[in-house]
Amino acid sequence: MANVIVIGAQWGDEGKGKITDLLSKSADVVVRYQGGVNAGHTVVVKDRTFKLHLIPSGILYDDTECIIGSGTVIDPEVLIEELDTVEALGVSTKNLYIAQTAHVTMPYHRLIDNAAEERRGSHKIGTTKRGIGPTYADKSERTGLRMLDLMDSAGLREVLSWTIPYKNEILERMYGLDPLDIDTVLEQYVGFANRLRPHIVDASLNIYEALNERRNILFEGAQGTLLDLDHGTYPYVTSSNPVAGGACVGAGVGPTAIDRVIGVAKAYTTRVGEGPFPTEMTGGIGEVLGDRGAEFGTTTGRARRCGWFDAVIGRYAVRINGLDCLAVTKLDVLDTLEEIKVCVGYEIDGVVTKDFPSSGRNFANCTPVYETLPGWQVSTEECRTLEDLPKEALDYLKFLAELMKVPIAIVSVGAGRHQTIVVEDPIHGPKRALLDANGEPVAP
């Protein structure tokens, strides 16, 4: 048995949904540990496309238990829509469980997210406007509501009787918006509670029991390392901890439960929303990547910004998450290019560094240092083994692995489940070696 964490190694949308779905085949339990309906995970199975926001990507396997963990924030209205959509596509949600301690997104969270973004003007973050930041802020401020609060309508009325007037002051006086009515919100949320009640559990206890029964658990991250509240490109981040360490907190398990950590990265880079992005290309090849990669947000439909692969952030993701191996997705998107660049370092004030700068100012002002590799200019979409790949594509992957000192266990060459090259077993294969003083891997 093995318990694995799957995380995004860039700015989100790396293809975590596809890889989680793939690995869920050998998992008994899949736990989503942070984030909310800001996430959009696409899973393509034959002619069906699933766009998941909160439901773990393991849901497509009949017997897999799926848990929305305590570290998530739940917009019940969107979750119910998602349950309806998935069920309409013929997938059962009987094995879906929701942590009673997960926090709830309320109507005022969405309104404040929108209004605050507008107020920030040119300093906006470019959020998904799903109320994520305000929900996590209330959790920290200890004014939040949890799923278990929804389950008790008398208690809910009591809480809303002071939180709604409190939030109305912000809505009206700070943002000039209409106030919310307690009874309307109460009626709406009691309705949501009734629909979700059968799914509510003590999630960390369920996970603990699964651990003791030696069942395989997969922890599914949303967003990505560079969007992490503590370790990302602050303030252009989300309000939770997508990094591997967040899995333990969000699911409610100790670090001793984790056997390995798998990172997912695109063969290039994308970012949606505001914030610095050193390898971004606004026209030309950036547009080719956007078109070929269909780079539009699953949740908001916004065009994703595109750029070359950035091995500095790749190395950072290996470090911050303790990655054992990498899944590289969307290799096929590079198929038509004559040349491919990889960012191998940043020049900051005339000095070249390979380490991610913790100063936001340095990061925003760095100049990427590139190495150029030849493209392959043939389709990789039908490749199913490394031997099927053109030599230049194989060299490209080897170059990335060498730069980041991490093995590539999976290569994805299309959105479909079958469009995958499994290089080595990502769950049971060899773990990443530690590095010696010169940064070279040492034999375990």
Q: Which residues are catalytic?
A: 13, 41
CB of 304 to ligand GDP, least distance (A): 9
* Contacts of 183 by beta carbon, 8 Å cutoff, 6+ apart: none
Our finding on whether 21 is near Mg ion (CB under 5 A) is no
CB count within 10 Å of CB 189 equals: 21
238 near ligand IMO (CB under 6 A): yes
* Closer residue to ligand IMO, CB minimum distance, 19 or 423: 19
The single-letter code of the amino acid at 195 is R
Task: Return the residue matching tokens 């010696």.
Answer: 436
Select the span of 22-30, 192-200, 255-263, 326-334 touching ligand GDP (CB under 6 A): 326-334
The interface with ligand GDP within residues 190-249 (CB under 6 A) comprises none
| Under rule CB under 5 A, residue 20 binds Mg ion | no
Binding positions for ligand IMO, 119-178, rule CB under 6 A: 125-128, 130, 132-133
What residue ranges in 203-257 does DSSP mark as E strands? Answer: 217-220
- From the list Mg ion, ligand GDP, ligand IMO, none, partner contacted by residue 329 (C-beta under 5 to 8 A by kind): ligand GDP
Output the CA–CA distances (angstroms, integers) from residue 118 to 135, 172, 174, 234, in the order listed: 18, 15, 12, 19
Q: Yes or no: say if 36 and 136 are a contact pair by the CB < 8 Å rule.
A: no
CB of 158 to ligand GDP, least distance (A): 38
Q: How far apart are CA 254 and CA 275, in angstroms?
A: 33
Which residues on neighbouring strands pair with residue 310, listed in sequence order?
343
Site residues for ligand IMO, window 12-41 (CB under 6 A)? 12-13, 38-41
Least CB distance from residue 42 to ligand GDP, whole Å? Answer: 3
Alpha-carbon span 327 to 223, nearest angstrom: 16
Q: What is the largest CA-CA distance in the chain?
A: 66
Q: How many CB atoms lie within 10 A of CB 400?
A: 20
Judged by beta carbon distances under 5 to 8 A according to partner kind, the member of Mg ion, ligand GDP, ligand IMO, none in contact with residue 126 is ligand IMO
Segment 270 to 329, residues that bind Mg ion, using CB under 5 A: 298
Stretch that binds ligand GDP, among 10-18, 58-66, 129-137, 280-288 (CB under 6 A): 10-18
Residue 10, phi then psi, degrees to nearest 5: -125, -130
Q: Say how far apart CA 69 and CA 105 lie, in whole Å.
A: 15
Residue 429 and residue 325 in contact, taking contact as beta carbons nearer than 8 Å: yes
Touching ligand GDP, residues 363-422 (CB under 6 A)? 412-415
Among residues 272 and 285, whose Cβ is nearest to ligand IMO? Answer: 272
Site string for ligand GDP, 151-180 (x = CB under 6 A): ------------------------------
Interface positions with ligand GDP (CB under 6 A): 8, 12-18, 40-42, 44, 293, 298, 329-330, 332-333, 412-415
